[in-house]
């Protein structure tokens, strides 16, 4: 990676991005050796970053103090997306077992969702948690389409986005009109949910308004037409900007692309490989961690991720 300031890998596409940059910060490669990096999640209490290496059926943990990377969970059931609930517990999407789980404080595993209307889920992909404790996850067929990220199985449910009630555990289907629902994120005030449709051609990021009771989505609209890009997982900062894992296969596209809430591209963080997903971490939630193909990268930025991201 370049070691100059300002880092030429941090590209300004619109002057508004300058306010989000730290001129004396550069992209850092923290690890190489994964097969397909996904689902980064920050643990401030231990100053560690956990992420998934899906085809290798493991989760890894990077230590901020030492820089060491060690196994966190193996086997991981081909874990993909991860987040923490509002009590700090790890919530994980598992392709192999086709379920969403929560890791309790004592290390035991609680199954939050593995079926809907008596039929098995496809392969839960990405997950976010709302301040009311509800857990929202996408369920495309990616993990059952072959043997690389899970096991080939027949789909019994349409790809969809689901909500698990934080108190009752009741599972509700929120939308099933997307071809391949993937990355999810809430706006800072949680009135909007953004969803990547990664099987649309071209890929799109859609927005839906969330009803005040959290039980209905309305006003579907297209926020971002990705063109040749491949948005996957993403997170939102406190100003509502979308920081999107991006690719595919060229210096111009690989990395992270940053958009305003209105869908205007304002910045790009170039990486030497496609980025699948990101999260904000560090003491002030101002360090962007990027899970990108074989590696893990980071960049300090002049904004903060919303709480829970």
Same domain, 260 and 213: no
Same domain, 122 and 201: yes
Domain co-membership, 205 together with 119: yes
Q: Are residues 91 and 195 in the same domain?
A: yes
Whether residue 153 is found in the same domain as residue 252 = no
Q: Which of 211, 227, 243 is the last residue of a domain?
A: 227
Secondary structure (DSSP) of the chain: ----SS-TTEEESSGGGGGG--TT---EEEEE--SSEEEEEEETTTTEEEEEETTTTEEEEEETTT--EEEEESS-SSEEEEEE-TTS-EEEEETTTTEEEEE-TTS-EEEEESEETTEE------EEE-TTS-EEEEE-SGGGSSSSSS------S--EEEEE-TTT--EEEEE---SSEEEEEE-TTSSEEEEEETTSSS-EEEEEEEPTTSS-EEEEEEEEE-TT-----EEEBTT--EEEEE--SSTTTSEEEEE-TT--EEEEEE-SS---EEEEETTTT-EEEEEETTEEEEEE-SS-BPTT-
Question: Would 239 be classed as within a structural domain?
Answer: yes
Q: Which pLDDT score is estimated for 248?
A: 77
Residue 182 CB neighbours (<10 A)? 29
Q: What is the mean pLDDT of residues 42-52?
A: 97
Shared domain for 153 and 189, answered yes or no, is: yes
Last residue of a domain, one of 174, 209, 227: 227
Residues 87 and 30 in one domain: no
Clarify whether residues 81 and 175 are in a common domain. yes
Confidence of residue 59 (pLDDT cuts 50, 70, 90): very high
pLDDT at 128 over 60: yes
Domain that holds residue 200: 77-227
Segment 112-122 shows an average pLDDT of: 98
Two structure tokens written together for 221: 């609209």
Mean pLDDT value of segment 52-67: 98
* Domain harbouring 134, CATH code: 2.120.10.30
> 182 and 269: one domain?
no
Tell me, yes or no, whether 118 lies in a domain. yes
pLDDT tens readout for residues 189-239:
999 999 999 999 999 999 999 999 999 999 999 999 999 999 999 999 999
For residue 65, being part of any structural domain is answered with: no
- Domain membership of residue 68 (yes or no) is no
Q: What is the pTM of this model?
A: 0.97
Q: How many domains does the chain have?
A: 2
Q: Which of 206, 227, 248 marks a domain boundary?
A: 227
Q: What is the pLDDT of residue 196?
A: 98
């Amino acid at each position: 990676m370049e070691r100059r300031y300002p880092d030429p890998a941090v590209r300004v596409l619109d002057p508004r991005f300058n306010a989000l940059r730290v001129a004396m910060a550069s992209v850092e490669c923290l690890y190489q050796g994964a097969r397909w990096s996904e689902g980064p999640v920050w643990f401030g209490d231990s100053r560690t970053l956990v992420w998934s290496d899906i085809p290798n059926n493991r989760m890894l943990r990077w230590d901020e103090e030492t820089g060491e990377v060690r196994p966190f969970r193996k086997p991981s059931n081909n874990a993909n997306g991860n987040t923490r609930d509002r009590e700090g517990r790890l919530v994980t999407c598992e392709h192999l077992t086709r379920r969403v789980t929560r890791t309790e404080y004592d290390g035991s595993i609680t199954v939050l969702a593995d079926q809907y209307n008596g039929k098995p889920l496809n392969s839960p992909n990405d997950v976010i948690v709302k301040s009311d404790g509800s857990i929202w996850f996408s369920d495309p067929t990616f993990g059952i389409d072959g043997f690389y990220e899970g096991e080939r199985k027949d789909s019994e449910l349409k790809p969809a986005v689901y909500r698990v009630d934080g108190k009752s555990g009741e599972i509700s289907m929120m939308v099933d009109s997307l071809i391949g629902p993937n990355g999810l994120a809430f706006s800072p005030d949680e009135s909007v949910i953004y969803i990547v449709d990664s099987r649309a051609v071209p890929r799109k990021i859609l927005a839906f308004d969330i009803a005040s009771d959290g039980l209905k989505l309305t006003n579907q609209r297209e926020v971002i037409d990705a063109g040749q890009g491949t948005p996957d997982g993403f997170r939102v900062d406190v100003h509502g900007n979308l920081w999107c894992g991006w690719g595919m296969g060229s210096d111009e596209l690989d990395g992270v692309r940053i958009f305003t809430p209105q869908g205007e591209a304002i910045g790009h963080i170039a990486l030497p490989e496609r980025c699948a997903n990101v999260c904000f971490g560090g003491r002030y939630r101002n360090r962007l961690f990027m899970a990108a193909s074989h590696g893990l990268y980071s960049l300090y930025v002049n904004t903060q991720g919303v709480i829970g991201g």
